[in-house]
Structures are given as structure tokens and as C-alpha cells.
Amino acid sequence: MKQLGILDSAFINLEQANTPQHVGGLGIYDPSTADGGLVRFKQVIATFERRLNQHPSFRTRLVSVPGGLDRPYWIKDANFDVEFHLRHIALPEPGDWRQLCIQVARLHSRPLDMSRPLWEAYIVEGLDNIPNLPEGCFAVYTKMHHALVDGAGSASFMTLLHDLVATPQESTDQQPEPRLVDNEPTMTELLTNASVNGVKNALSVLGATIKNTRALGKYAIQVSRKEIAAPDFSTPKTILNKPVGPHRVFDAAEFPLAGFKEIKEAAGVKLNDVALTVIGGALQRYLESKNEAPDGSLGASMPLNMRTRRQTTDENNQVGAVFSSLHSDEKDPLARLTAVHSSTQEAKEVGEASPLVDVFKLAGAFSPLITQAAAGLWSRHNLSKYVPANTSTVVSNVAGPDFPLYFAGARMVDYYGLGVLTPGIGVFHLVFSYSGKLSLSVLADRDIMPDPEFYHDCLVSTYEELHAATVALHKPAKTTSSRKVSAKPKSGSKKRLTKTGTKPKAKTKTKRKSRSKTAPQPKVNSTSKASTESSRSPKARKSAKAKAPASKIVKIARTTAKKRSAGELASKSKSRAGRRRAFTAAPKLKVVADNT
């Protein structure tokens, strides 16, 4: 028997009907790598049962103290049945991406049974018409309470369930370890422990209050002296801050990881900065389409893994939070990326030194009797609308492996993450990289974002705009060099003119054919042609040298991107999404539900 830590207990205390505190994951698997090219449901059960023996916390359940006088306890459940936590379902015809998203959103909106181990898994078959997937794929949706795992912990759970090869060698000599269980404590034991812990907790709260008061005072002095920057809580309220209801929507956009790395390396920023820039631009575009765009910039809360920043503890959750501006009011994508990089660096440096990074612990520092009543009052009366500090969304970044994983012999093709919504923050993003891909998943309240498909298109359009601007910024270097050579009226100028006037022209067209958002080709060609003509006379040659073709090309590219309306970009990305979700004939899933 083990008592929950302060932060673990906080997520139990914050559990409400409209805002259940569980996280989730959706993996899609190709069974062709398994023995015989299929995965039976009995194999799935056996895989879960064998792996969970290595992680006994997933066989524990909560025991609450009567009256909520003390933090609850974890005990190993003597009646644990893995088959209760595994469910086998199928999508209705035609089994497309939209139906999968709706099914996952419905499953994620349902609270967990708090009287049993706090996790569930659903095997979903019938993914017959999702494009770019191998034939016969199936999905595994898992959800776990946040008291059981945080972001890093969920990644560890994913690692626990997967193998590095399709057919790992299992030890035949290893005997199954006996399963240990806990005797459920009596009411007398719980109340006795609560009375002792009450004194300890009172002293602990008093000590923590003195410590945090000193830290806040020191922090305020540093801010007043401008030694460190003050946290930015000036995010305006939008429709994203409306009351959160019990229903959810889910969607995800997938991108090549190489494209994000290309932007990252060209701009000299972090991969997370690129993701935040795309998210900020997509949210701004979404709000503009609703005529709800604010005057200022949107802001994001970013969870921090405190395991790498502080001494580790035995708590399941070791997470903090910092706040950063998304600079969504900046129209230029490259300028927005630079501003986001500066803000995130500042937020991490300042946030780690700020007592506000541990704000979540307030919900677990007091007894559940007090905290749960306060959380219910806050949620029912939507008191978050009176808080001057606003957050538009939560963005969590989890780095997955850059190599394939296997579950019951089936190769994992894609993976998407789902998080927690809290009162006043109706949109959650999770950035996940895996095996050369990067996914941006969005979980939102159904009333706040009733059209997640359109927001998916906003994400795609914003990424394309940012990538095109990055490519346009770094492409003109070779063109500039060739133009300078062509301006020299030497004896070999005729040969150089031929190279400048013909070959680069065709080469540029070929390169830019796949980039729809680069500078207009006619303008680039006319510039090159003008440079060629200028080499015929000294006067024209002098005029050509005074020009700056590279900056002109960048200016054309940026001007073109700005002139494109949101409707045009949305239409284009929608057509791409249509190709991504084009119906393809595929046989039904090869997960066989049998008892043989």
C-alpha cells in the first residue's frame, strides 16, 4: 500500500464530470509483420498481461480515506482482470479517418471507473478506408489517469508494451513471478493514518508556505529590478476560453519530420519552436475564419518534465508548467518563428526559477475534502472567466523513437496523443515524433471547436506557408551568383549568358514545382532576363549590379504569401487532406476475435 504524492493526488482532486483527468494515445498497426500476417485478440490479451507484470502500478486501484480527510492510497488489486480493461470494437462502414476520430473522441470523453485500476484499452478494427495505411490495419486506443502517468510516464508505458523486433525471443525457462496483492485497509486504519498525517501535512504545508513566500518575494524583487523578465499573462480571452463541457472532438495532422528539421536548422531554432509557430498560426487562422481573432497574441501553457531539472521522486507525476506567447498576431511566418523561439527560451529560463512552475501542486497540498469541493465550485460556476491570466491552449511535446516499434508482432505505423482539458482551456495539442514522422494532435471541447476538420486544414496550410517561406529565403543564393557572373562582358560571356538564361531557368522551375508557395516564376525569370540583357552595355551593367535580386525574390515570396487569402489556403489544404483521406479498397482487419 502506498499513499499518493501531492502532485498525483492533485489530478485525483481535479477530476470532474466535464473535465476528466486522463490522458490517451492512439496507435495504428500493420499486422502483416506478425506471424501469419494476422493478430488474434487472444494475442493482444496475452501481450498486455505479460507486460503489465513488469509494471505493477497498472494493477493498482485507489482507496479513498473516509470523508476525504487525507490523500488516497494505491493498493494492488486482488481482483484485477486484464480482460475487463481490454475492449474489442469496430468502426461502422465505410471506416474512414473521420469515423475513427469521432470514435476516439467519444471514448476519451468518458471518465474512467475510479473503483478499478485507472486505465483502459480499446482494439479498433474496420479501418478500411483510411488512406496511406497498409491493408488490414487496426488501432489501439489507450487511456490512463493522469495520477498514474504524466507525459514522460505515458511514453514509458508505450515502450513497455512494444518490442524492437516483430518476433522477440521469449525466455522459455523463466517462471512467472507470483502476483502480490495488498489487503484492503480498514476504516480504522485509514482514519488513524489520517490523524497522524494531518499533523504532518499541517507542518509540511506551513513549511512549504514559508518557503514559497520567500521564493515569491525573491522572484518579485528580481522582476522589479529587471534581472529576469516578468511572465506574460496578457493573453486576450477568446472563444477558446469558453466553459468546457463533457463532449470532445479529435483530429490530427501528420507531417514529415524532415520538413520540420529543415525549418529548424535553417532558422537556428528548436523543433518545439517550429511546432508552436505552426500551432499559433493555425489558431489565428481558425479564429479569423470565425471573426473572433483577438487584438493581441494568443498564449500557450507548456508542461515541463521536471525529472531532468530536479531531483527525481517516487511520484508518478513530476511535471511543471511554463507560459509563452505564440505571437499569433505576427503575419510573417519567419518573424513569428523568431519571436516564438525568443519567448520559449525566456519562458524556460525564467519559469524554471519561478515558484509558479509548481502551481499544480496547490490542488494536492490540501485534503481532498477541501480541494475537491473547491474544484467542483470552480467548474460549475466557470470562475476561470474572472482570472486575468489567460491561456489559449496547452501544448505538450513528447519525443518518440526514430525507429519502428512492434506490438504483438504488428508494426506501429502512426501514433497520436490526447491530453486533458481544464476549465477555461478548451484546446489541447500534443506534438509527437516517431520513425520519420511528426504528428500534431488536437483535442478540443465540441462546442468550442465544432469543426476539427477545418482546423486540421489550418494546421496544414500554416506549415506549408512556413516551409515555403523558409525555402524561399535560402534558395536565391545560387541565382545571385549566376547573375553576377552573367554581368561580366568578357570574351566568354556568350557561354555564360547561355547558362544563365536557359539552364537555371529550367532548373528553378523543376525545383519549385512541388513548392506551391514559392515566388511567382514569371517574376524570377524576368529578373534573370533583365540581368542577361544588362550585360550588353556598361551602363546597363552598372545598373544591374546595383540591384539586389536575392532580397527581391524573398520580398516577392513574402508578399505573395501575405496576399493569399485564408480561403485560398484552406481550399488548397483541404484538397490535400482529401487526397490523404481518399477512399481506398482494403479488406477488413485481420484481428480475429476467437477463443481458440
The pairing of beta strand 138-145 with beta strand 86-90:
unpaired
Mean pLDDT of 275-281: 97
Kindly name the residue from 108, 146, 429, 456 that is annotated as catalytic: 146
pLDDT of residue 433: 94
Sign of CA dihedral 213, 218, 223, 225: positive
Mean pLDDT of 135-151: 89
pLDDT of residue 232: 65
Determine contact, residues 280/274, Cβ cutoff 8 Å.
no
Residues facing 123 on adjacent strands: 88, 140
C-alpha dihedral over 456, 459, 464, 466, to 10 degrees?
180
pLDDT of residue 321: 80
Calpha distance 12→14 (Å, rounded) = 5
Where is pLDDT greater, at 505 or 420?
A: 420
- For 253-278, the DSSP string reads EEEEHHHHHHHHHHHT--HHHHHHHH
Would the pLDDT of 378 be above 80?
Answer: yes
| Amino acid in position 428 | F
Calpha distance 515→383 (Å, rounded) = 47
Where is pLDDT greater, at 210 or 392?
A: 392
Calculate the average pLDDT of the chain: 78
Percent of the chain with pLDDT over 90: 46
Calpha distance 61→156 (Å, rounded) = 20
Calpha distance 433→398 (Å, rounded) = 7
Fold of domain 229-404+415-472: Chloramphenicol Acetyltransferase (3.30.559)
Instruction: Confirm whether 247 is a catalytic residue.
Output: no
To the nearest 10 degrees (0 to 180), the angle between helices 452-474 and 333-353 is 110
| Amino acid in position 58 | F
What residue segments make up the domains of the chain, in order of their start? 229-404+415-472
As given in the structure block, the three cell numbers for residue 60 are 493498482
Q: Which range, of 80-89, 138-147, 228-237, averages the lowest pLDDT?
A: 228-237
Long-range Cβ contacts of 284-293 (<8 Å, 24+ apart): 284/328, 284/329, 285/458, 285/461, 285/462, 285/566, 285/569, 285/570, 286/449, 286/454, 286/455, 286/458, 287/238, 287/239, 287/240, 288/566, 289/454, 289/458, 289/566, 289/570, 290/239, 292/238, 292/239, 293/238
Most confident of 126-130, 514-518, 531-535: 126-130
- pLDDT, tens digit (0-9, with 9 covering 90-100), for 58-75: 899 999 999 998 999 999
Where is pLDDT greater, at 274 or 399?
A: 274
Where is pLDDT greater, at 25 or 527?
A: 25
299-330 in b/e form (b: 16+ CB < 10 A) is bbbbbbbbeeeeeeeebbbbbbbbbbbbbbbb
Calpha distance 111→141 (Å, rounded) = 15
- pLDDT, tens digit (0-9, with 9 covering 90-100), for 446-476: 999 999 999 999 999 999 999 999 988 876 5
Would the pLDDT of 513 be above 50?
Answer: no
Label residue 123 by pLDDT band (50, 70, 90): very high
| Amino acid in position 548 | A
Determine contact, residues 572/561, Cβ cutoff 8 Å.
no
Would the pLDDT of 108 be above 50?
Answer: yes
pLDDT of residue 176: 61
- pLDDT, tens digit (0-9, with 9 covering 90-100), for 29-39: 999 999 999 99
Mean pLDDT of 140-149: 92
- pLDDT, tens digit (0-9, with 9 covering 90-100), for 227-243: 776 666 678 999 999 99
State the CB neighbour count (10 A cutoff) for residue 200: 10
Calpha distance 325→340 (Å, rounded) = 7
pLDDT of residue 141: 96
Determine contact, residues 31/590, Cβ cutoff 8 Å.
yes
Label residue 155 by pLDDT band (50, 70, 90): low
Q: Which range, of 223-227, 501-505, 532-536, averages the lowest pLDDT?
A: 501-505
